[in-house]
Structure 1
Amino acid sequence: MSKQILKAHKIRLYPTEDQQIFFAKSFGCARFIWNRMLADKIKHYDCHKESLKNTPAQYKKEFEWLKEVDSLALANVQINLQRAFQSFFKSPTFGFPNFKHKGKKDSYTTNNQKGTIAVGLNRIKLPKIGHIKATIERKITGLVKSATITKTATGKYFVSILVETVAVDLPKTQSNTGIDLGLIDFIVLSDGSKVANPKFLSKLQNKLAREQKILAKRRLVAKTQQRKLSESSNYQKQKTKVAKVYEKITNTRKDFLHKLSFNLIKNHDVIAIEDLNVKGMVKNHKLAKAILDSSWSTFTTMLAYKADWYGKELVKIDRWYPSSKTCSGCGHLLTKAELPLSVRSWDCPSCLQKNNRDINASLNILNEGLRLVTLKTVGATGLA
């Protein structure tokens, strides 16, 4: 079975000096439009208590240099700002839209209109700029919908090409698994296998601390000499070094998560996993850094969309389900006092089964996941 999906391909760009200037103008114009439209919306609401329906086009009369960049890039800023407001009004947890600052995240998005975006042999064609040298490692098939160009803190350029393509279901394996997420082991599967936690941030923590310490000293020197940080070459060089450490952490973590999530999807038909409240868990300051380094939310998101693409099923178990405290053999439930977090193995007082805390939890997660899948199937059959 096959289905239409949207898939993004990230590609490294190598723009010429003139193309870099165009990108800089585009990033600046996109940031300007966002900030100006947001400021005017806030001001209008404060004065009239109603929302302002402003568009990028009306600002081009006053700021003619906005015409130098791709108009679709500015139109996408308007769409993204509208979505930000909709998300805020739908749920305040998303937060009120913020103003954008130079250098924090330089990017803009444009759309494909009759071939204005095209992928060639080591070349990417973009609106108003033409062909750009690129590193294309795999063939991109499907209808190109849009492109998002970004410049990283280390000065690298990338484009994310969004294409509408066809995904074919992977073969069924007749194998199901439950996953217990952890800090010591990244995951423990219900068959007893474990994947160690790579702890990418921890491995580079000392190097990162050294580079940040040098950066702080150079910031102080610039301040003492009354020079702007943007004009201090030593500060800017060190800032890039810090960014490179963060970039390495991010890239290695993403590579690990992508490979692991695809491997699980490829080898199992049903995958059951806990629906963890990561936002609540990071409030524990002793564990917050380790939890964020593990990137459980990103991993779960990858499993979700890959399961949808390839015809597999991901089942999320309620976060309050007592997977660790329930005996997978007889269902006996222990209290929190009987099974503190420090206890990693225990003997069931009812059936005397020896339970490893993590493996036992993954078995219970699998059984609960299969139960939910059965209920879902029965419910769908009943409706039919």
Structure 2
Amino acid sequence: MKKLKGYRFRIYPEEDQRQFFIETFGCVRFTYNHLLMAKKDKTVESLTPAQLKKDYPFLKKTDSLALANAQRNLDRAFSNYYRGRAGYPKLKNKKAIWQSYTTNNQKNTIQLLNGTLKLPKLKTAVKVEQHRVVHGLIKSATISAKNNTEFYVSLLCLEEIQPLEKTGEKTIVMFHPTTFIQTDANITLPTLDLNPLNQKIEKEQLKLVRRKKVARTRGVALSDSKNYQKQKQRVEQLVLTKSNKKINFFDQLTWILVQQFDKIAISTPAPEDFCEEGLYSPSDWQQFLIKIHYKIDWYQKELHQQQK
């Protein structure tokens, strides 16, 4: 069975490649915002990236597929808004921590070659930290950057996924405030201890508050305070580390479940199960559900939802 599967790798662009990415982020953001403003203005006819290029020639230098995807993303945002799944689309901000653009693979314009990544419009390949083998056909690549310093690529691939062997086993999965989940089966599940990291985050956040007070006492804008900005980045990195640890934990859990059981019934937790002092939040549970859903679909197992 062929399914779309994602891979994410760290990339290390050289200075000219880094500038290319930053310029592309800007062009995609510019296109998205202008198309959004045109939709807001009822007197303006429908606008397209091709029409924008006529008025803004600098857009011709960037990847046309990235601009086309900006339009698709906006259309998707409006679709989610009209269906009540999201708020009204907002303008993109160049000061946002994360910036990104998506391009498509046309006749091998995106390739992984000997530890490097080939991309459309980029003359040289980018060094990539490929920690796992990519199978199947690459359909698209999303380049993202944190503060324009850390760069990543997310590859969407169409590949053949073999179903797992049937075990004949079934289980019920329930939320647990400490271990995250518990089952009615006699099985050892991985655990996640976030207490040391949470304590470190709390300690660094207190430092951030103190440096904020010092900057304001000295009459220095926070954007100009080097000590505050360094501490802010330190806190953000720790929060990101915590998020990544959770994602890895959910991946381990869901993989063990689909390997061990053919039928998995999930008991939906009540809102009060997520107390303020708890280790896990409703968004953590949603991440877990997303992962278990697609893995059950991939490996041809059965899933049942149960209400408390």
Match of 1:98 in 2: 90
Q: How does 1:225-236 map to 2 (within 5 A)?
A: 227-236=220-229
Distance 1:289 1:29, change over 3 A: farther
Match of 1:251 in 2: 244
Distance 1:66 1:224, change over 3 A: farther
- Contact persistence 2:135–2:159 (CA under 8 A): yes
The offset of 1:189, in angstroms, is 1.0
The offset of 1:155, in angstroms, is 3.2
Stretch moving more, 149-158 or 167-176 = 149-158
Tell whether 2:21 aligns with 1:32: no
Post-superposition Cα deviations, 1:32-79, rounded to whole Å, max 9, x if no partner, equal 22222222322x13xx5xx85221222223333222321111111110
Q: Give, in whole Å, the separation in 2 of the partners of 1:116 and 1:270.
A: 41
Q: Which amino acid is 2:70 matched to? A: V
Cα RMSD (Å) of the superposition? Answer: 2.5
Post-superposition Cα deviations, 1:144-165, rounded to whole Å, max 9, x if no partner, equal 1000011135932110011100
**Percent pairwise identity:** 37
Tell whether 2:288 aligns with 1:304: no
- Contact persistence 2:190–2:253 (CA under 8 A): no
Match of 1:214 in 2: 207
Match of 1:135 in 2: 129
Q: Which amino acid is 1:166 matched to? A: E
Q: How does 1:83-162 map to 2 (within 5 A)?
A: 83-91=76-84, 93-101=85-93, 102-129=95-122, 130-153=124-147, 155-162=149-156
The offset of 1:294, in angstroms, is 7.5
Distance 1:35 1:210, change over 3 A: farther
Distance 1:274 1:293, change over 3 A: closer
Distance 1:115 1:157, change over 3 A: same
Q: Which has the higher contact order (CA 8 A, sep 6+)?
A: 2
Q: Give, in whole Å, the separation in 2 of the partners of 1:177 and 1:158.
A: 37
Distance 1:76 1:294, change over 3 A: closer
Q: Which amino acid is 1:64 matched to? A: P
Q: Which amino acid is 2:71 matched to? A: Q
- Contact persistence 2:264–2:303 (CA under 8 A): yes
- Contact persistence 2:138–2:158 (CA under 8 A): yes
Q: Give, in whole Å, the separation in 1 of the partners of 2:162 and 2:132.
A: 18
Q: Give, in whole Å, the separation in 1 of the partners of 2:8 and 2:14.
A: 19
Q: Give, in whole Å, the separation in 2 of the partners of 1:227 and 1:64.
A: 40
- Contact persistence 2:38–2:46 (CA under 8 A): no
The offset of 1:112, in angstroms, is 0.6
Post-superposition Cα deviations, 1:270-317, rounded to whole Å, max 9, x if no partner, equal 11102447xxx27x9843864428711111111110111111111112
The offset of 1:212, in angstroms, is 2.4
Q: Give, in whole Å, the separation in 2 of the partners of 1:275 and 1:259.
A: 20
Distance 1:226 1:274, change over 3 A: same
Post-superposition Cα deviations, 1:316-375, rounded to whole Å, max 9, x if no partner, equal 12x2x4xxxxxxxxxxxxxxxxxxxxxxxxxxxxxxxxxxxxxxxxxxxxxxxxxxxxxx
5+ residue gaps, structure 1: 322-384
- Contact persistence 1:175–1:268 (CA under 8 A): yes
Distance 1:115 1:225, change over 3 A: farther
Q: Give, in whole Å, the separation in 1 of the partners of 2:77 and 2:175.
A: 31
Q: Give, in whole Å, the separation in 2 of the partners of 1:196 and 1:120.
A: 35
Tell whether 2:51 aligns with 1:58: yes
Distance 1:154 1:198, change over 3 A: farther
Match of 2:20 in 1: 22
Distance 1:29 1:223, change over 3 A: farther
Q: Which amino acid is 1:27 matched to? A: F
- Contact persistence 1:109–1:148 (CA under 8 A): yes
Tell me the number of residue pairs that the alignment of Structure 1 and Structure 2 aligns.
Answer: 306
- Contact persistence 1:188–1:194 (CA under 8 A): no
Q: TM-score, normalised by structure 2?
A: 0.90
The offset of 1:226, in angstroms, is 5.3
Distance 1:103 1:316, change over 3 A: same
Match of 1:361 in 2: none
Q: Give, in whole Å, the separation in 2 of the partners of 1:303 and 1:20.
A: 36
